[in-house]
Amino acid sequence: MDTTNASVHPFQVSFFEALKFWLKLGFISFGGPAGQIAIMHRELVEEKRWISEGRFLHALNYCMLLPGPEAQQLATYIGWLMHRSWGGIVAGALFVLPSLFILIGLSWVYVAFGGFVGGWSKQVLGPDALFAGAALAATLVTWFTFLPSFLFILAGGPLVESTHGKLQFTAPLTAITASVVGVIASLGLFFIAHIAYRSGATGGFISRLDGAALSISLVAAVASLRYKLGVIPVIAACALTGLGLRLLGWA
């Protein structure tokens, strides 16, 4: 039995308290899957201690195996683990809905993507209802993108939980997660390489380095890893710093 962080058993969390967290997560889940998973780990394992490290990793290993958005699947799995079917449905839905509503709201001022653009250009509800048709298309795209994740988790969750602590089942899942971590690490190196050099810069290696971008990246990493600052404050501080440096002509 996994006793890590066992002082707070996941099923002791009230449904309303969990609902508030999943809604909050939907609004602060920046950084793509890797960033979203990191936020969930910090909030659920390190700070709130709603779930143990072992349970979190076991759920993550399973979600890495599934096709589709693993961060949303992980939220659904943990929600199911705490409050069964309704917990999983609420966690998965609230993970997605804020982004959908923000997308539709931004689209009102002509920021659009995917299903919204298709719905707008195809006039699915006619030329007199472009926005309504585009919003409907975006909703349907979101629904059919994430619906399989709910099915995978709610159907497979009980089986996966029954394998917890059984090496013959967990070892292959851990290996899959390790390979995914390698892919994420290579992607991180790709991004570092692209922010490290100033666009259009000429000259030697040192003169082409973007000192401002590298410094902001380093400070953000220290703030997140060493001082455990939240994602929103770190992103906001970095954005303001970058804007200030650009206005001053230093970046």
Residue-level pLDDT, tens digit, the chain, 251 residues: 444 443 334 457 899 999 999 998 888 877 678 788 888 998 999 889 999 998 998 899 899 888 888 899 999 999 999 999 999 999 999 988 887 777 777 766 556 666 667 676 777 677 777 778 778 877 888 778 788 888 889 888 888 888 877 877 888 888 888 887 888 888 888 888 888 887 777 777 777 888 899 999 999 999 988 888 887 888 889 999 999 998 998 87
DSSP secondary structure, 72-96, as one string: HHHHHHHHHHHHHHHHHHHHHHHHH
* CA–CA separation, 104 and 90 (whole Å): 21
Domain limits, the chain: 10-165
Burial label, 95 (beta-carbon count in 10 A; 0-12, 13-18, 19+): buried
Cβ–Cβ under 8 Å, residues 138 and 104: yes
Give the pTM: 0.73
Residues in the chain: 251
